[in-house]
Structures are given as structure tokens and as C-alpha cells.
Chain A
Amino acid sequence: MALSEQKTKRIIVCDTDKCNGCQICEFVCSIIKEKTTNHKKARIRAMRIEPFFNIAIACRKCEKPVCERACPKDAIRVLADGSIEIDKDKCDGCGWCIESCEFGALRLTFDGGIAFTCDFCADIGEPQCVKYCPKKALRYITLDEAAKESVKDVLLNVIDRGGK
């Protein structure tokens, strides 16, 4: 990816130390996007690997999205900001996109069986799961910012331990 893109392409990043598995991101997502409460319809997925690991994952805006290439109906389009758009008329719910995505970022609707994924609340301007995450574990930032933050965290840890 070109450097300029790295600086502008924002994704939902999860701090796994802060994420505690509350699933509020999922609840909020279903309310904002589906106008109902049903976390199984969420576009973000809160995962727990016992006993100590939690993470919430949404679409990663991959540079070369496998979901796009996997779709036999040519229903998936990559938008300028890197997010995915699914053409409801073309999608027949075969699920190859879901199978291909390593991050579990796509789902099928319960009623029509059409693929859907996170659009980063484009109409509102920022992902609402990030806004309402009670522990601020979720952030909507560029990969470059994310990398800087993790380096900072590592350094702070070292300093805490008396290093320099």
C-alpha cells in the first residue's frame, strides 16, 4: 500500500488488554444498523479465547480483499476508503466471502441470506461501536497510528520496569 494510503486508511483497532468481553460493541452495532437489539446481527464480532484473551474484530479493509476475489457473483466492490460494499441484488448468499475472510468480518442476514459487513457507520461519520466502547479498547485509527501507539506502550512498560 502506498504511504499516503497508510496515513489515511482508518480501521477499527482493538486493544486486547482493555477489551473485557462485554459485547457492548455488538449490542450498539445492532441498534445503530438494524434498529433492534440482537448482537448476533452485529457487524463487529466480540471473541473470547479462554481464559485470558478478548478481542473485537470488524472488517480490516484489506489491501487485497480476498472476499472481493472470492465472490463468484461479482457482488463485492472496494470503496475509496478501503471498506467493502455488497450489492444486495447480485449477492446470492453462497457464503464464499465469509469463508474466505480470516477475520470473520462478514455475516449472512438471517432472513434473506445476503452477505453484510461493517461500513464504519459511513452515514454517521464514525463507527458507533468505537464511540460507545466503555473501556476505550476500540479506536478508529490508521495502521500507522496504531503502530506508533503500540511502540509507545512497549516503551512505557520498559520505563515502568526501571529501564531506559
Chain B
Amino acid sequence: MKGYAGKYLKVDLCSRGLSTETLTEGMAKDYIGGLGFGARTLLDTVPRGTDPFSPQNVLAWWTGPVSGTILPTGSKFGVFALSPLTGVFGFGICSGGFANELKSAGWDGVVLTGKSDKPTYLFVDDGAPELRDASRYWGMTTWQTEDAIKEDLGDSAIRVAAMGPAGERLVRLANITTDKNRQVGRSGMGAVMGSKNLKAVAVRGTGDVEVGNLDELMKFSAELNERCQGPKTEKYRVYGTPANILVHNRLGCLPSYNFQKGSFERAEDVSGEQMSKTHVKKILACTNCPVGCDHVNEVKDGPYAGTVASVDYESLGQLGPLCGVGDLNAITKAVEVCDELGVDTISGGVIVAWAMECVQRGLLTKDDVDGIDLRFGNGDALVEAIRRMSLKEGKLGNLLAEGVKRASERVGKGSDKFAIHCKGMEWAAYSLRSLQTSTLGFCTSIRGADYLRSGSYQVDVAGKVDRLRLDASRGKIVYEGENQYAIIDSLIICKFTRGVYSSMNELAKAYTLVTGLEISGQELVKAGERIYNAAKCFNVRFGSTRKDDYPPPRAFDEPMTDDVVKGAKIDRRQYDEALDSYYDGRGWTRDGIPTKAKLLELGLTKEAEEVGA
């Protein structure tokens, strides 16, 4: 089989032993790559009851079959582990040149277990990987680490993925950064690196990546590249995802003030349009991406002058309107602090917004927040709170570093009612109550509150359904989206190109041209379903049931006050009906457990035995 390297690297950080494992054709066809391989690895290596920070947890890095080839946006990888934030299936998918480099070095992935007794990093130098001392890099920011390792190895073309000081301190929302602006963002993969004393993975790959049919793949890729200059990706190319700000604001679904409201009086000031005029200095592309969506801001004046950060909609929304902050300078600075110290911007914004609401309601005193004036709208306080959270500094920093679920449990006093998360994962920048199909999808997501698992917000925003209510038609929308996204995340390509493929058959064509393995669109969909079910089985192993698939109380109990969606809230009975329709369509029990029959149908034999109902 082509496309795949055909082997992966296994590393035991305890014994410092490295070994080469073969990737079988069966594994390739059944699980495709990326998310599929991650699901298989977690199921096969992480037993029930494992502590996410223990040496028994795994940290798996997987590329997909298309990584390293000319197929547009193929240079993507995922990092997978039992999440210290959610206690279930954790991962993040990331772009940049890293995946391409790893494939060129001759590896489909790297699977690490154990814990190093001292700071270490893995250098995969083509076919000669080795663990090296990382003492010199301990304490460095993600950006400094990247530069220092490249300098020490004497090759600026090496790709580095590193955790920052937040990961070293086991901050539960710690992430991994590569190419400065790209992150394995969500569910705390950087904290798992920290627990293993693994500062970074560096890769140099100089080998060829062979594909099934080079001429045809080149032709097809050229056509896709052409399509990527068309209307399907225009939004990403022009204003980038921040174009969502004004659209969502008009619809009353731009979360502000910790999801108390669905619009923001300073939306114009933080819009993609405004940002392009005053802050965007350069639009970058990831390796092998014909779209180019990465809008890099520069702050020109004021106390944050000189700040540089790549700002997308989610970061902008959660560090801006959600915290009541309408100042692009402060928002850009907050993103920069997150990126350098190594925490997820989405989770970071939600946690600070929660703390601001605690202050608003008098549940946290001035002393609890170390004297910071943590009011909604205070950009300087936002930046300082993010810094303290990332470094676990003071009372405030130590509280916030645990994530919003644990922090609200610690504070008590009903603050859990407005801790906006699902399964412990902080909510992304989509309204709870005025995008209700979206909310259902956020809650069924295996990773916790997640816009990237089904894209179920799309039918709401596009007006294809009544977004202010739920019914039994929504389950199908969500699980079909999940199965499709599971394939995209396994190949792995960028979701921003999902619109340029005309059908599932075209995705199957891409897979066949790359790998030489015949597969139909229908078989791909089946693989997507298998992959999603496999990941779900992992969650069931760790105790997930129906009760974990609900939004926070605010979604049900507090009607919205914004004019355009006045009174909107989720009806609990409607929610249950929609969730039932999801489970029914999935072939799971109404307690949210995959049935033995469904798992056997998908070839998940071991899982049918272990968790099947």
C-alpha cells in the first residue's frame, strides 16, 4: 500500500526503548489514519481506571495516508491520549509542516507511553529516532523551544511540536504548538506531554512519499486547488473565520458575557472586517494548503504594541465578546500569551469568562482573584488572568488551571450552573440556546463540547432548520455529520476544504489515488461510523453514559434576552426527544451505549464483548 509509510515508532519513556512496528493493511483500511488510528491506539493501550497523568496513559501522534502528498491540506496530524480535562477520549488535530515531515521521515506515527525521569525530547531524524536531553528547554515558551531546538540541531527546516510552561505545570487545558501559529489545541494534550516530561517532538524527514497514482493525483489535486480559489472557501481566504462575528451577532448567537447573551454591543469593533483593516498584517497558509486562512495580527500601538498572534474566530470570540472585551489589541495579546505559554484559547476564554461572572455575582472576592479587577470588559485583567492560569500563579491561577468544571466544583455556590462545558470541555463560540442543533452536536461529541465533531451548527446558521427548537429530525443530522467528519479527521484533510469535494465518492477517489487501495464512498462512510463508534467505546470504558451528553443548566433554565432571539431556551423534553433520535439512529441504547449488534456489524468484536449493551 502506498501513501502510508507502513510503519510507526513505539517509544517507552520509562526504559527509553524505541521500536519499529508494522502498520497492517487491515488497520489501514478499517481505520484510515489520524482519528481512526488514534481511536484504535487508545482502545488497545489505555485500560479502564487509568489516571490521565500516570505513565500508563498513552500519547499517540498519527498522520493520515494523505500526509506528505500533494493532496491539498494533507499536512495534518493528530495527537491522542486519555484527556486530563475530560477524563475521556482526548485529541487535537493540527496543521503546519510537521505531518509532512514525519511522513517524509518514513513514519505514519509515534506512540509514546511511560514517563521519562528527566526532561526529554524525541528527535525523529529520518530512520534514526532518538530521545535527547531537554533540560535546557525546560521553562521555555513554545516559540522559544521551537527556535532553540532548530538552532541546536543546526537545521531550520526541522519541524518542532512543543508544549509550553503550562504543559510542564500540568495545566489541564495545556496544548501543543508547531510552526509558531498551529496548535494541537483542545483537551489538554500538552498537559499529557508535561506528565511524561516530554518537552517536544522534533522531526527531520528527507525521504520520498510514494503514492498509488502520481499523475492522476497531481491532476486531481490541481483541480481541487482551483476549486479552493472559488466561493466555497472565500470566507476563509478573505476575512478568515472572524467573518463569523457579525453574522452570528445578527442572528443572536454570538456568545457574550459568559453565554449570558447572544450578541455583543461592540461586535463591530472585533469583527473580521475591522480586524482586517487595522490588525491583520499577513495571511499565511499551512504547508500544502491552497486556501490560506491564517490571519496574523500585529498590534501597532498602546501597551501591547509589538504583539503578534494568529487570531481565528474561536479565539476571537472566547477571548473577546465572551469576556465582554471589545479591544482587538488586548484580544490579540491574550491569544499571544495563550500560544506562547501553551494553553487552548477557547478553553482559556471560557474559564476567564466564568471567573468574571463569579466576580459579577459576588461568588469570588477580590482576595480570591489575587486583587485583579476581574470585571467583564477589562482586557488587561483578561491578559493577566490568562498568564496566571497558564503558569498556575497565585490563588486565581491555580483555580483556573483546573478547567471550568473542576474550578466551579471547587468554588461551589451554584457557580456550576454557569460553568459552560460538556464532559468538562469548555464550550466553543456557538450559542447554547439560539443554535440548538449545534448544542445537540456539542453534547454527543466524544471529545466534549465541540464544534469540530459534526459541524451541526451549520444547519442552524444556514436556516435549514428551526434553530430555536429541537425535534426527532436532528439526531440524523448530527450522526451523519459525525461520520463524515470522522473520515475527514482520519485522512486527515482540513475541514475548510469539505465544500470543494462534490461527494463522498470524490473523497474515496482521493484515498485510492494516494494509497492504491480501492474503496468506495459507501465503504468510507462505514469506516467513519466504525471510527466514531470505536472512540465512543473508549468513553464508555471510562464511564460515559447518557447523563454526560447534556448541556449546562443555563441552556434549559435561562431564557435569552437579546431582541432577535428573545425568550429562547432549550425545552428539556425536546432535547430528550432529539437525543433519543440520535441514539436510535446510531444503534445505541437510550442510555447512550453502543449495542453489541451494532459493534459486531462494524467489526468491533473486542469492544462488543467489553462495553456493548
Closest approach, in angstroms, between the C-beta of A34 and any C-beta of chain B? 8
State whether A27 touches B70 (Cβ < 8 A). Answer: yes
State whether B288 touches A22 (Cβ < 8 A). Answer: yes
A40 within 8 A of B: yes
With contact pairs A28-B70, A37-B69, A51-B180 given, residues A134 and B290 touching in the complex (Cβ less than 8 Å): yes
Closest approach, in angstroms, between the C-beta of B306 and any C-beta of chain A? 11
State whether A40 touches B206 (Cβ < 8 A). Answer: yes
Closest approach, in angstroms, between the C-beta of A121 and any C-beta of chain B? 14
Interface positions of A from 21 to 76, Cβ below 8 Å from B: 21-24, 27-28, 31, 34-41, 50-52, 54
Give the docked Cα–Cα distance between A20 and B228 (Å).
15
With contact pairs A40-B104, A52-B281 given, residues A23 and B287 touching in the complex (Cβ less than 8 Å): yes
State whether B222 touches A22 (Cβ < 8 A). Answer: no
State whether A22 touches B281 (Cβ < 8 A). Answer: no
- Residues on the B chain within 8 Å of A22, using CB: 285-290, 292
A103 within 8 A of B: no
State whether A38 touches B207 (Cβ < 8 A). Answer: yes
State whether B308 touches A20 (Cβ < 8 A). Answer: no
Q: Which residue of A lies closest to B237 (CB)?
A: A135
Residue interface mask B74-110, A partner, CB < 8 A = 1: 0000000000000000000000010010001000000
Which stretch of B210-218, B359-367, B535-543 is in the interface? B210-218
Q: Which bucket holds chain B's interface residue count? A: 35 or more
State whether A20 touches B285 (Cβ < 8 A). Answer: yes
Q: Which residue of A lies closest to B3 (CB)?
A: A37
Give the docked Cα–Cα distance between A34 and B100 (Å).
18
Closest approach, in angstroms, between the C-beta of A78 and any C-beta of chain B? 29
State whether A40 touches B281 (Cβ < 8 A). Answer: no
- Residues on the A chain within 8 Å of B308, using CB: 51
State whether B68 touches A37 (Cβ < 8 A). Answer: yes
Count A interface residues, CB 8 Å: 24
Give the docked Cα–Cα distance between A36 and B157 (Å).
19
Q: What total count of A-B pairs have CB within 8 Å?
A: 76
Interface positions of B from 259 to 310, Cβ below 8 Å from A: 281-290, 292, 294, 296, 298, 308
- Residues on the B chain within 8 Å of A23, using CB: 97, 287-288
Which of A23, A37, A40 has its CB near the most chain B CB atoms (within 10 A)?
A37
Report which of B100, B157, B292, B296 forms a contact with A52, defined as CB distance below 8 A.
B296
Closest approach, in angstroms, between the C-beta of B163 and any C-beta of chain A? 20
Give the docked Cα–Cα distance between A27 and B228 (Å).
17
B518 within 8 A of A: no
- Residues on the B chain within 8 Å of A39, using CB: 100
Closest approach, in angstroms, between the C-beta of A35 and any C-beta of chain B? 7
- Residues on the A chain within 8 Å of B228, using CB: 134
- Residues on the B chain within 8 Å of A40, using CB: 104, 157, 206
State whether B285 touches A36 (Cβ < 8 A). Answer: no
Closest approach, in angstroms, between the C-beta of A29 and any C-beta of chain B? 11
State whether A37 touches B209 (Cβ < 8 A). Answer: yes
State whether A37 touches B208 (Cβ < 8 A). Answer: yes
State whether A38 touches B284 (Cβ < 8 A). Answer: no
Give the docked Cα–Cα distance between A31 and B296 (Å).
31
Residue interface mask A123-138, B partner, CB < 8 A = 1: 0000000001011000
Give the docked Cα–Cα distance between A34 and B209 (Å).
12
Give the docked Cα–Cα distance between A98 and B201 (Å).
30
Q: Which residue of A lies closest to B143 (CB)?
A: A50
Give the docked Cα–Cα distance between A31 and B290 (Å).
17
Give the docked Cα–Cα distance between A23 and B284 (Å).
11
Report which of B207, B222, B284 forms a contact with A20, defined as CB distance below 8 A.
B284
State whether B296 touches A51 (Cβ < 8 A). Answer: yes
- Residues on the A chain within 8 Å of B285, using CB: 20-22
Report which of A24, A35, A41, A54 forms a contact with B284, defined as CB distance below 8 A.
A54
- Residues on the B chain within 8 Å of A31, using CB: 70, 214, 218
- Residues on the A chain within 8 Å of B68, using CB: 37
Closest approach, in angstroms, between the C-beta of B441 and any C-beta of chain A? 31
- Residues on the B chain within 8 Å of A50, using CB: 180
Closest approach, in angstroms, between the C-beta of B568 and any C-beta of chain A? 40
Interface positions of B from 202 to 239, Cβ below 8 Å from A: 206-211, 214, 218, 222, 225, 228-229
- Residues on the B chain within 8 Å of A110, using CB: 206
Report which of B69, B229, B281 forms a contact with A134, defined as CB distance below 8 A.
B229
Give the docked Cα–Cα distance between A28 and B288 (Å).
10
Which of A27, A31, A41 has its CB near the most chain B CB atoms (within 10 A)?
A27
Give the docked Cα–Cα distance between A54 and B308 (Å).
16
Closest approach, in angstroms, between the C-beta of B494 and any C-beta of chain A? 12
State whether B209 touches A132 (Cβ < 8 A). Answer: no
Give the docked Cα–Cα distance between A132 and B285 (Å).
15
Give the docked Cα–Cα distance between A37 and B231 (Å).
29
Give the docked Cα–Cα distance between A35 and B69 (Å).
12
Closest approach, in angstroms, between the C-beta of B290 and any C-beta of chain A? 4
State whether A20 touches B225 (Cβ < 8 A). Answer: no
Give the docked Cα–Cα distance between A50 and B298 (Å).
12
State whether B70 touches A38 (Cβ < 8 A). Answer: no
Q: Which residue of A lies closest to B310 (CB)?
A: A51
Residue interface mask B140-169, A partner, CB < 8 A = 1: 000000000000000001000000000000
Give the docked Cα–Cα distance between A135 and B206 (Å).
26
Give the docked Cα–Cα distance between A21 and B96 (Å).
10
Residue interface mask B171-182, A partner, CB < 8 A = 1: 000000000100
Give the docked Cα–Cα distance between A68 and B207 (Å).
29
Q: Which residue of B lies closest to A30 (CB)?
A: B208
- Residues on the A chain within 8 Å of B208, using CB: 34, 36-38, 41
State whether B209 touches A38 (Cβ < 8 A). Answer: yes
Give the docked Cα–Cα distance between A35 and B218 (Å).
10
- Residues on the A chain within 8 Å of B69, using CB: 37
State whether A21 touches B284 (Cβ < 8 A). Answer: yes
State whether B292 touches A135 (Cβ < 8 A). Answer: yes
With contact pairs A132-B222, A134-B225 given, residues A37 and B70 touching in the complex (Cβ less than 8 Å): yes
- Residues on the A chain within 8 Å of B104, using CB: 38, 40
Report which of A41, A51, A132 forms a contact with B225, defined as CB distance below 8 A.
A132
Of the A-B pairs whose beta carbons lie under 8 Å apart in the complex, a sample of 12, sorted by A's number, is: A21-B287, A22-B290, A27-B288, A36-B208, A36-B209, A37-B69, A38-B104, A38-B206, A41-B208, A50-B180, A52-B281, A134-B228
Instruction: Supply 20 further A-B pairs (C-beta < 8 A) apart from A38-B208, A41-B208, A134-B228.
Output: A21-B284, A22-B285, A24-B288, A28-B218, A35-B214, A36-B210, A37-B69, A37-B210, A37-B214, A38-B209, A39-B100, A50-B180, A51-B180, A52-B281, A52-B298, A54-B282, A132-B225, A134-B229, A134-B290, A134-B292
List chain A positions with a Cβ less than 8 A from chain B: 20-24, 27-28, 31, 34-41, 50-52, 54, 110, 132, 134-135
